[in-house]
Amino acid sequence: MNKFLLSIIIPCYNEAENLKEFYRRAKAVLAVYEYYLLFIDDGSTDGSLEILKNLAAADDRVRYVHLSRNFGHQNALKAGYDHARDADCVVCMDADIQHPPELIPQLIAQWQKGYKVVNTRRMDNGSEPVLKRLASKGFYSVINRISNLKLVPGGADFRLLDAQVVTQLSFFNENALFMRELVPWLGFKQCTVAFDVEERFGGNSKYSFKKQVSFSLRGLVSSSIAPLRAAIFIGLVIAGLSFAYGIYALYVHWFTVKALPGWTSVMAGILFVGGLQLLLMGIIGEYLGKTFLESRKRPLYIVEECSTGSLKQHNPVILREREKLDIDM
């Protein structure tokens, strides 16, 4: 494969300090390819959009899509894939340069060998806090146990997708998108390339602890219904133990002269079972909440402005309706 069109998707939220440096490094690496950079501005408020407009005006290989507000990293990724369907392959990476642009030729080399999906895996070089590394290992350990799919520990949303895979992704409009599980679910021939995470060039991470917890819960709930089955199992075990204790209490009362334990043990049991019930209700509620969000059928993102054509052409709802008409015809 000698000539091909490469699209680089860069979701960004308040990355004004990094955009010009990212553009400089990416341009140097991609000089030998036919490519374009597609920045997805996820509702930035720090002047990122103005920088993108200036870059697009100076270089026709720079495109941007500005979302009407911050819809979240996973939805911004989806917006990028929806707008990059004219490319032969698509690479997605972050704008903070922790995903090194210099790795792109290695991803392309694997794609040219026949891999439709080239994933990346962060090397554990000890640069991240110990607590964060342990939490990451725990997350992947749990999700790989409850899911039929096996996610690569340390996996990132920095990956290359063939055009065929990008087309298949366009049919997915789940509210709780979790790309790290969805891409393996699609199948195709896949491989993984390891890389060292670089330091942020500028600014601070926008991924707060709250967002990390939310992302982890989304991954667990989206990947499997195992937590619901676990809730059933735990409920049966507790019910069985409670029934056995009830039999024991009746035996002590009717056939022995021992005094029944006081209210302390009773209260401890009530509090334990009550807390467990709240936990299980929370698990069930999480799934019910996801079902409610899916039932509303709202679009995953709203495009306010873009440099890639009219808004009507790139509206995700209109695109889906157009595809249905094409299939019917």
- Angle at CA of residue 27, ends 24 and 28, nearest 5°: 90
The SS3 assignment for 36 reads strand
Secondary structure of residue 194 in the 3-state scheme: strand
Give the pLDDT score at 175: 74
* Cα angle 125, 128, 131; round to 5: 120
- Among 31-35, 102-106, 139-143, whose mean pLDDT is lowest? 139-143
Question: Which residues on neighbouring strands pair with residue 92, listed in sequence order?
Answer: 9, 159
pLDDT of residue 323: 45
Give the model confidence (pLDDT) of 217-259 as tens digits.
Answer: 665 556 556 666 666 667 667 767 666 766 766 666 666 665 5
- Stronger pLDDT, 327 or 300, i.e. the higher one: 300
Partners of 168 in the β-ladder? none
Of 137-146, 163-172, 194-203, 272-281, where does mean pLDDT reach its minimum?
A: 137-146
Confidence of residue 136 (pLDDT cuts 50, 70, 90): low
pLDDT attached to residue 180: 78
Is the predicted pLDDT of residue 137 greater than 50, yes or no? yes
Going edge to edge, which strands form the sheet with 89-92?
190-195, 117-122, 159-162, 89-92, 5-12, 34-41, 62-67, 303-306
Asked if 97 and 25 count as a contact pair (C-beta separation under 8 A), the reply is yes
Give the closest residue to 189 by CA, choosing from 128, 116, 258. Answer: 116
DSSP label of 326: H
> Cα torsion at 49, 53, 54, 58 (round to 10°)?
150
> Is residue 25 a contact partner of residue 101, using CB atoms and an 8 Å limit?
yes
- Determine the 3-state secondary structure of 291 from DSSP: helix
Say how far apart CA 148 and CA 102 lie, in whole Å: 33
Return the minimum-mean-pLDDT range out of 44-53, 252-261, 318-327.
Answer: 318-327
DSSP bridge partners of 163: none
Residue 252: Cβ within 10 Å count? 14
Q: Which residue has the tokens 């509303």?
A: 296
Query: How far, in Å, CA of 135 to CA of 300, rounded?
Result: 28
pLDDT bin (cut points 50, 70, 90) of residue 177 is: confident
pLDDT digits 0-9 by tens, 61-73? 999 999 988 888 8
* Percent of the chain clearing pLDDT 90 (strictly above): 26
* Positive/negative CA dihedral, 124, 129, 133, 139: negative
Helix (H) or strand (E) holding 8: strand 5-12
DSSP strand pairing (159-162 vs 62-67): unpaired
Residue 35: closest CA among 91, 103, 115, 119: 91
Q: Does the pLDDT of residue 207 top 60, yes or no?
A: no
pLDDT for the residue 317? 44
Backbone angles phi, psi at 175, to 5 degrees: -65, -40
With 80 as the cut, is the pLDDT of residue 277 above it? no
